[in-house]
């Protein structure tokens, strides 16, 4: 019994020594044990040999394009980033409203029904308009400046950029089961005016300091309105299907691009 | 890897620094890719897993507990991603049955590349839990404590799994005439 316990103990020590996890005393004790136990010596030799073989296995170089593709697929901002946003309402997430802010939406609706006028009403569930889109928008004044067509895995359609004075309007006509779109821009040069989605209302929409994210489902038209202090406001567009980046491009830059991935 | 530096980069990434996250990516990209490749034995799958690991890490940085090591956390994500991919691929279930050609030949002298291929195939013959400990110990140079942290199992279990994994691997390589 004692022998088998010793054997197990030294077997454990053999592995620990090979893994560099044994103390100096333990290594010395192991050496002593091995000197008197040829069967333990052979186990030790086999393990050393196995370790040497494993150490010879070649390390694989990560693919050259891996880092670039990871960086390209990163959301514009980490989820935890707390950058000062111009207005807190832009941080609101539509699904949260659906569940947690239903009461607030109801109260606001009540206020509207009593005829009290508020500026910049918070959106209600299934709203098709977010922000000041309905009040200010006058699409006929906008002139189309650029257009991008989309034919990627899981999403097809087009994106149109138009401009009227300081205002920019980006219209996404997308067809795909669940397409997540990110619009990135220089937050110091632009403000978000509004967002709308038709038909079926807004499924998911989130605005941050320098990006807008939304989800488009089925055949939907999504419209983003921005006011810009710069006539050339580049917008970086990313389209994700099932969490994977399927298309990205830029609108509004001096040399417009739209590359399929 | 320097834990303090990792924590600094994580903190900066949380504050919105993409450059800091890129630094973390540079530090761990190769290790994560290699771990995924050894576990999955498929270049493209390893690439997908690595991409998904870093995207998940970026999206979930707020949940990272600085009491732990960043590399333990990211390896943990890598293992979960690899497990998920394994589950979704029936061929990996069959992989356990891949018969390692038995050759009771004398020890072979193989080139490094050939040897790597033989070891990779042998690894694939091991059950997932045994493959993972070999990968973490021998290819990612993790200590027992680190493995215990990554795998969320006691150190004692790490040791016993490693013993068994090595014994199984030794038998396979013996049959292939490598040991």
- Kindly report the nearest CA distance between residue B62 and chain A, in angstroms: 6
pLDDT at A234 over 90: no
A73 contacts A245 by C-beta, under 8 angstroms:
yes
Q: Smallest CA–CA separation between B78 and chain A, in Å? A: 14
Helices H, strands E: what count in chain A? 7, 10
Alpha carbon of A245: minimum distance to chain B alpha carbons (Å):
11
**Which pLDDT band, with edges at 50, 70 and 90, does A104 fall under?**
low
Phi first, then psi: give them for residue A172, nearest 5 degrees.
Answer: -105, 115
**DSSP assignments along A102-134, one per residue:** HHHHHHHHHHHHTT---SSPPP-TT-SEEETHH
As a whole number of angstroms, the distance between CA B138 and CA B132 comes to: 10
Confidence check: pLDDT of A241 > 80: yes
Residue B160 touches partner A, C-beta closer than 8 Å = no
Question: What's the CA angle centered on B75, arms A55 and B167, to 5 degrees?
Answer: 40
Chain A residues closer than 8 Å to B13 by CB: 78
Q: How far is CA A113 from the centre of its chain?
A: 39
The backbone torsions φ and ψ at residue A230, rounded to the nearest 5 degrees and listed phi first, read -130, 125
ipTM of the complex: 0.82
Highest mean pLDDT of the ranges A221-235, A245-259, B83-97: A221-235
Identify the band that residue B108 occupies on the pLDDT scale cut at 50, 70 and 90.
low
In chain A, pLDDT over 90 holds for what percent of residues? 21
Residue B156 has phi, psi (to 5 degrees) of -60, -40
Hey, are the CB atoms on A47 and B21 less than 8 Å from each other? no
CA A154 vs CA A172, A208, A240, A243, B40: distances in Å:
15, 26, 9, 11, 27
Please tell me which residue, B135 or A115, carries the higher pLDDT value. B135
pLDDT reported for residue A201? 67
Instruction: Please name the member of A16, A50, A66 whose beta carbon is closest to the beta carbon of B170.
Output: A50
Interface of A with B in 234-253 (CB under 8 A): 243
Residue carrying the six token digits 């940085």? B61
Overall pTM surpassing 0.90 (yes/no):
no
pLDDT at A255: 46
For residue A40, give the nearest of A49, A50, A30 by alpha carbon.
Answer: A30
Task: Give the pLDDT score at A91.
Answer: 40
Among B62, B59, B54, smallest CA distance to B81 is for B54
Residue B8's closest CA among B50, A5, B19? B19
B residues 96-155 near A, CB within 8 Å? Answer: 112-113, 115-116, 119-120, 134, 137-139, 143-144
């Amino acid at each position: 019994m004692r022998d088998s316990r010793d054997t197990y103990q030294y077997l454990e020590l053999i592995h620990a020594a090979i893994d560099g996890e044994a103390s100096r005393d333990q290594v010395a004790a192991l050496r002593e044990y091995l000197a008197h136990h040829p069967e333990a010596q052979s186990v030790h030799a086999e393990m050393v040999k196995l370790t040497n073989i494993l150490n010879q296995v070649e390390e694989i170089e990560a693919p050259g394009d891996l880092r670039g593709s990871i960086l390209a697929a990163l959301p514009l901002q980490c989820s935890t980033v707390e950058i000062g946003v111009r207005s807190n309402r832009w941080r609101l997430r539509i699904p949260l409203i659906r569940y947690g802010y239903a009461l607030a939406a109801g109260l606001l609706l009540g206020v509207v029904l009593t005829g009290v006028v508020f500026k910049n009403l918070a959106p209600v569930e299934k709203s098709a308009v977010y922000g000041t889109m309905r009040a200010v928008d006058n699409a006929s004044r906008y002139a189309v400046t650029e257009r991008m067509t989309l034919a990627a895995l899981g999403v097809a359609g087009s994106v149109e950029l138009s401009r009227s004075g300081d205002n920019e309007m980006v219209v996404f006509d997308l067809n795909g089961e669940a397409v997540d779109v990110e619009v990135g821009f220089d937050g110091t040069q632009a403000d978000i005016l509004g967002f709308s989605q038709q038909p079926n209302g807004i499924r998911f929409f989130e605005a941050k300091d320098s990006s807008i994210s939304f989800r488009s489902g089925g055949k939907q038209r999504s419209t983003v309105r921005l006011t810009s202090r710069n006539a050339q406001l580049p917008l970086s567009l990313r389209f994700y299907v099932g969490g994977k980046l399927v298309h990205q491009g830029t609108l509004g830059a001096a040399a417009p691009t739209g590359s399929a991935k | 890897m320097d834990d303090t530096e990792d924590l600094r980069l994580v903190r900066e990434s949380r504050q919105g620094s993409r450059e800091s996250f890129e630094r973390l990516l540079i530090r761990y990209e190769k290790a994560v890719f290699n771990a995924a490749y050894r576990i999955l034995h498929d270049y493209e799958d390893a690439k997908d897993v690595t991409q998904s690991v870093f995207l998940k890490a970026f999206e979930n940085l707020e949940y990272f507990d600085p009491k732990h090591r960043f590399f333990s956390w990211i390896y943990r994500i890598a293992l979960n991603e690899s497990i998920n991919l394994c589950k979704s691929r029936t061929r990996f279930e069959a992989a356990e049955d891949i018969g390692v050609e038995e050759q009771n030949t004398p020890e072979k002298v193989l080139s490094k590349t050939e040897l790597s291929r033989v070891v990779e195939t042998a690894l694939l013959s091991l059950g997932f839990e045994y493959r993972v400990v070999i990968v973490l110990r021998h290819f990612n140079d993790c200590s027992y404590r680190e493995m215990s942290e990554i795998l969320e199992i006691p150190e004692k279990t790490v040791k016993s799994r490693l013993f068994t994994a090595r014994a199984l691997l030794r038998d396979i390589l013996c049959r292939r005439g490598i040991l």
